[in-house]
Amino acid sequence: MDTSPRFPSAAPDTVIAIPVRNEAERIEACLRAIDAQDGVRPGSLGLYLFLNNCTDGTDRIVADLAQAMSIPVRVRCVTFDGAHAGWARRAAMDAAAEWIGPDGTAGTILTSDADSRVPTDWVARNLAALDAGADAVAGRIQIDEAEWAALPKSLRARGKLEDAYSDLLTELEARIDHDPHDPWPCHRTTIGATLSVRLSAYRLVGGMPMIPLGEDGAFVAALLQHGLRVRHAKDVVVTVSGRLVGRAPGGVADTIRARCEIPDSLCDARMEAVPRALYRYLWRRRLRRLHATGRLATTRAWSRRLAIPAAEAGRIAQQPLVGLAVAEIERVSPKLVYRPLGPKQLPRHIRVASLVLVVLRAGAALRSRLQSPTPASPLLPEAKAMAGDPVSR
C-alpha cells in the first residue's frame, strides 16, 4: 500500500524505516510522534512501514493513520513463518534505500521501533550529527516513565547503577582510546529504536545484518570495522516501552523480564571490572597505533602477550582495515574475553572508576593549559599497574 500519490512525485532523500509486528496498542503513538517532526525540509522526509505477521488489527490501524499523515507513507504487509527481528529491519531499511534511489548513494535512512516514541526533533538531531561528519548516528533510549515506575524498585535501582557505571566506562574509553569522530560526551548504546545512517554507508557494509538477534549491534560494529564514523549522540533520545512481553526475542522486554526474574543476573558484557576495562582500552589504543605504522605485521610481541597463535596473528596483521583487525584480535585473544560484573559488584567499581577518571581529567586539564599536542591521556603508575598497561612495556 502506497499513500504517497497525494504528495509530489519526487522521492524523499530521508526515509524512516520501521518494522512492525502486532503493535495495535502502540502504533498510533509511534506514528503521531513521527508526523510531528520539526526542523525538516518540506518534502524531504518519508516513512516506510514493514508489517510482518500482524494478527491483531495493526494493519487496519496503520491504513487509517497513514492516509492522514503529513508525510508520504509506504506500507507493506507480509506473512512469513521464518520472520525475525534482523530479517524485518533489513527488509524495511532495504525498501527505504530503494525508495530514496535504487542506484544512488546520497540520502539517509533512519530506523526505529513500532513501540517507540521519537521526540519532535529526532530527525533534525540525527541529520545535524550526520552533517557534522558522521556516517551513522546511534542514539539512546529511555523507558516510558509510567511503565518504568511500575517496575520493581530493585530493578530500577540496578538500572541506575548500570547507567552510572556505563557512563564512567565510556568516558574512560573515550579518554584512553580517543575517537575524534565520537568524542566525549558520548555513550555506547546500540539499539534499533534509534539509528540513522547515510545511504552510502549502508550500502558499503552490505545493509542491516539479517540475523535473529542483535542485528543493530552487529550493524554498528560493521560500520566501525569498515572505518566509518559512528557518532553515539547523547542528545538523541527515544522513549521505548517498559513491557515485559516483547515482539523480538532478546530485546528490551526480554532483558527487563529476565532481570525481574533473576535479580543477580550478570550485567551487559562491556560492564567488566575497571582493571580489565583499562587493559582493553589500552590495548585497543596500542593496536591501532601498531596498525597505523605497519608494525602490526612486522612484530609479534603483541600477539604473544595476547596469547594469539602466530598463524592467526599473521592473518590478522594483513587486514587493511584497522577496525576489522582490532575486532578480530579481541575475538580470538583469551586475554580479552569479556567478563561482566554482577550487580552487587557495581558500587565498588563505580568508586574505582571515578577515582581513575579524576586522574585522567586532571591530566587532560594540565595538557590543555600547557597546550600540549599529545592526544593520549596519562595514567598514574598505580592505574597502569592495575590495568597491566601494554603501552608502558
Mean pLDDT, the chain cut into blocks of 10 residues (393 residues total):
63 97 97 98 97 97 97 98 96 98 92 97 98 98 94 94 98 97 95 97 97 95 97 98 73 80 92 98 98 96 98 96 96 98 98 98 92 55 49 41
Per the omega criterion (within 30 degrees of 0), is the bond before 185 cis? Answer: yes
What is the per-residue pLDDT for 104? 81
What is the per-residue pLDDT for 4? 57
Contacts 24+ apart (CB under 8 A), 283-289: 283/336, 283/390, 284/177, 284/326, 284/330, 285/176, 285/177, 285/376, 285/391, 286/390, 286/391, 287/322, 287/325, 287/326, 287/329, 288/177, 288/322, 288/326
Q: Whole-angstrom Cα distance, residue 11 to residue 101?
A: 8
Is the distance from CB of 289 to CB of 277 less than 8 angstroms?
Answer: no
- Specify the pairing of strand 45-52 against strand 108-111: unpaired
Q: Whole-prediction pTM value?
A: 0.89
What is the per-residue pLDDT for 392? 39
- Based on the number of CB atoms within 10 Å of its own CB, is 74 exposed (0-12), middle (13-18) or buried (19 or more)? buried
β-pair partners for 142: 239
What is the per-residue pLDDT for 385? 46
Is the sign of the CA dihedral 54, 29, 65, 25 positive or negative? positive
What would the pLDDT profile of 242-296 be if each residue is shown by its tens digit? 877 766 666 777 788 888 888 899 999 999 999 999 999 999 999 999 999 999 9
Is the distance from CB of 52 to CB of 88 less than 8 angstroms?
Answer: yes
